[in-house]
Amino acid sequence: MNIQALLNDKVSQALEAAGAPANSPAAVRQSAKAQFGDYQANGVMGVAKKLGTNPREFAQKVIDVLDLGGIASKVEIAGPGFINIFLCSKWLSVQTDAAMSDARLGLKLEKQQNIVVDYSAPNVAKEMHVGHLRSTIIGDSVVRTLEYLGHNVISANHIGDWGTQFGMLIANLERVQQEQGEVSMELSDLEAFYRESKKMYDADEEFAARARSYVVKLQGGDEYCAKMWKKLVDVTMVQNQINYDRLNVSLTQDHVMGESKYNSMLQDIVDDLKEKGLAVESDGAQVVYLDEYKNKDGDPMGVIVQKRDGGFLYTTTDIACAKYRFEDLKADRVLYFIDSRQHQHLMQAWSIVRKAGYVPEEVTLEHHAFGMMLGKDGRPFKTRAGGTVRLADLLDEAQERATALIESKNKDLTADEKAHIATTVAMAAVKYADLSKHRTTDYIFDWDNMLAFEGNTAPYMQYAYTRVVSIFSKANISEADLTGSICIENDKEKVLAAKLLQFEEAVHSVAREGQPHLMCSYLFELAGNFSSFYEACPILSAEEATKQSRLKLALLTAKTIKQGLDLLGIETLERM
Ligand code: ARG
């Protein structure tokens, strides 16, 4: 049940009936304070201004024709012309009851779209760093949400698997193989391998010459170089897969659509851009000048799409990639979860894409940027020695800390149970700490905060869930035993019921804005509303009809928390 959409429709109709121009926005929102009702419509003021009438008088006209029979118990005008809507308990009872008996919690499927989501995108022969962690888990959560709404989601892992660095990497892999025999998938320290390759390239002229010749050969399709290249990609992705699996992220090898995939399109694109008069030669390179970007002299900025030596760039690849996503993948929408520092790069690539007519305007290309992960000192998150933090090490540390925490809290669980709880809490803590922050801001990575049982954290939410299910396990009641129907009687029940029904709005907002923190905030509020309800409304000791009703509300709460956490990629525990 999407209450906001329902009320928005009703108020829109009333606006029109009261004389507003067609399609005037009703602007229905959840109210910030209980005294303003459950929802408020803010559109009246704008319309009244357009019509040149008194907003409060116009609001009265709207209310006179507004038909919320059965839905609202009270509708009133407030302030300069807000319309406050108070939902009716009876209606809330019927709706929560319906949600309770529906496997999808009453949530309707959206009209299906093809949506491409570009996320994770680590680089070959490099470790995944914390920036890739952010992209991976935020992207994964949005993918889950879009799929839940019924969309056809194509996960695209745009790995950095192409570029001149492969010359030195192949030359170094060759050297290592000559010394140690066949390299297995355990080339564990990729970062060190990369650094070593670079060092040899800088220090050893013969090595560097070989590396350069391998770049040319690789680009020319040489079989040996292609095989070595593939090995580097595979070794990297096998290791990344371990991280994905630990993080409960659904990416697999099947989702890899790296930069190299677009190689065969690049020359044609540059030729086409030339033909369209968009790319022009400058110093032997092919450049597109964009009026909307000025260089420091105030002239249109030039974006190079092909270098003088014939090589292509990251931008050229992203132009091809957007074209491919529209033409071949038939995307209606493309979401990119990439570090905010790449914003200009994307804007330039897409500006060229639009000018060349590769992707029509109605297909959205969306950069869902995110900020940096910072250390406690407020500076970019690094190891003590100042190096990049390996994702695998970060997850190991989470595991250790969660193990100690669970050990100290639950003396009476078996070792297996404790291990399972610790792993689940550890991964959840790392993910939730990230997902619960507004995506675009930098945030401070703090172990103590993320593992706390108070506040908007994973342990708090997971515990909130176990607490609700324990009501059932302790009383030995299961869903099948529930009879009767939900009957909202007091305020705490009412607040909880309205919040439960707002799950659908939370799901939609994440799908629309690509901001999983909206789901975290929703769940945190829901858990708070449940606590207040639980304190004020005895369940098991209530008389039978009330007991059944409250048990149903509790069960719907548990189901909603579980489903919401699942959309965030976070697992729940029946005991902890
Ligand atoms: N591999 C890039 C990086 O590590 C991210 C790629 C993002 N996707 C894209 N279509 N450019 O920064």
Position 327 in a domain: no
Closest of 101, 504, 118, 491 to residue 335, by C-alpha: 118
Kindly give the distance from the C-alpha atom of residue 283 to the centroid of ligand 1, in angstroms, as a whole number: 28
Three-state SS at 506? helix
CB 195 within 8 A of CB 170: no
Other C-beta atoms closer than 10 Å to the C-beta of 269 total 23
Give residue 186's pLDDT band: very low, low, confident or very high (50, 70, 90): low
Position 430 in a domain: no
Residues 86-90: what's their mean pLDDT? 97
Position 217 in a domain: yes
Position 242 in a domain: yes
**pLDDT tens track for 211-220:** 999 999 999 9
Position 46 in a domain: yes
Residues 13-30: what's their mean pLDDT? 95
CA-angle at 371, arms to 295 and 526, nearest 5°: 145
What integer best gives the mean pLDDT of the chain? 95
Residues 127-143: what's their mean pLDDT? 93
Position 178 in a domain: yes
Buried b (16+ CB within 10 A) or exposed e, 101-128: eeeebbbeeeeebbbbbbbbbbbbbbbb
- Round to whole Å and give the CA distance between 282 and 288: 10
Helices 343-355, 314-327: crossing angle, 10 deg rounding: 60
Other C-beta atoms closer than 10 Å to the C-beta of 559 total 21
- Round to whole Å and give the CA distance between 506 and 25: 21
**pLDDT tens track for 509-551:** 999 999 999 999 999 999 999 999 999 999 999 999 999 999 9
Select from 158, 190, 317 the residue to mutate for testing ligand 1; criterion: most ligand atoms less than 8 Å from CB.
158
**pLDDT tens track for 419-446:** 999 999 999 999 999 999 999 989 899 9
Residues with CB under 6 A from ligand 1: 118, 121, 123, 158, 160, 318, 321, 336, 338
Which ligand 1 atom is at minimum distance from the Cα of 314?
Answer: 11
Query: How many domains does the chain divide into?
Result: 2
Give residue 295's pLDDT band: very low, low, confident or very high (50, 70, 90): confident
CB 381 within 8 A of CB 373: yes
Please give the pLDDT value at position 402. 95
Kindly give the distance from the C-alpha atom of residue 121 to the centroid of ligand 1, in angstroms, as a whole number: 5
* Cα Rg of the chain (Å, integer): 28
Residues 465-494: what's their mean pLDDT? 95
Q: Alpha-carbon torsion 216, 222, 225, 228, what sign?
A: positive
Give residue 576's pLDDT band: very low, low, confident or very high (50, 70, 90): confident
Kindly give the distance from the C-alpha atom of residue 338 to the centroid of ligand 1, in angstroms, as a whole number: 7
pLDDT > 90? residue 501:
yes
Please give the pLDDT value at position 387. 80
Looking at residue 380, what DSSP letter applies? B
Residues 312-319: what's their mean pLDDT? 97
Please give the pLDDT value at position 187. 61
Select from 133, 336, 338 the residue to mutate for testing ligand 1; criterion: most ligand atoms less than 8 Å from CB.
338
- Round to whole Å and give the CA distance between 279 and 40: 52
pLDDT > 90? residue 38:
yes
Kindly give the distance from the C-alpha atom of residue 299 to the centroid of ligand 1, in angstroms, as a whole number: 28
Closest of 397, 375, 392 to residue 384, by C-alpha: 375
Position 312 in a domain: no
How does strand 285-294 pair with strand 300-306?
antiparallel
Question: Helical H runs in 276-313?
Answer: none
Position 352 in a domain: no
Single out the residue in 87, 122, 148 at which a domain terminates. 87
Residues of the chain with pLDDT > 70, as a percent, come to 99
Show Cβ contacts of residue 301 under 8 Å, excluding neighbours closer than 6 positions: 289, 290, 293, 294, 295, 348
**pLDDT tens track for 230-239:** 999 999 999 9
Domain enclosing residue 16, as ranges: 3-87
CB 257 within 8 A of CB 156: yes
CATH of the domain at 78: 3.30.1360.70
Give residue 192's pLDDT band: very low, low, confident or very high (50, 70, 90): confident
Give residue 352's pLDDT band: very low, low, confident or very high (50, 70, 90): very high
pLDDT > 60? residue 185:
no
Kindly give the distance from the C-alpha atom of residue 31 to the centroid of ligand 1, in angstroms, as a whole number: 39
Single out the residue in 195, 224, 252 at which a domain terminates. 252
pLDDT > 70? residue 406:
yes
Residues 303-318: what's their mean pLDDT? 95
Give residue 131's pLDDT band: very low, low, confident or very high (50, 70, 90): confident
Looking at residue 18, what DSSP letter applies? T
- Round to whole Å and give the CA distance between 76 and 41: 10
Give residue 461's pLDDT band: very low, low, confident or very high (50, 70, 90): very high
Task: Write phi, then psi, for 261 (nearest 5 degrees).
Answer: -60, -25
Give residue 254's pLDDT band: very low, low, confident or very high (50, 70, 90): very high
Looking at residue 568, what DSSP letter applies? T
Which ligand 1 atom is at minimum distance from the Cα of 158?
Answer: 8
Please give the pLDDT value at position 323. 98
Please give the pLDDT value at position 188. 66
Single out the residue in 203, 235, 252 at which a domain terminates. 252
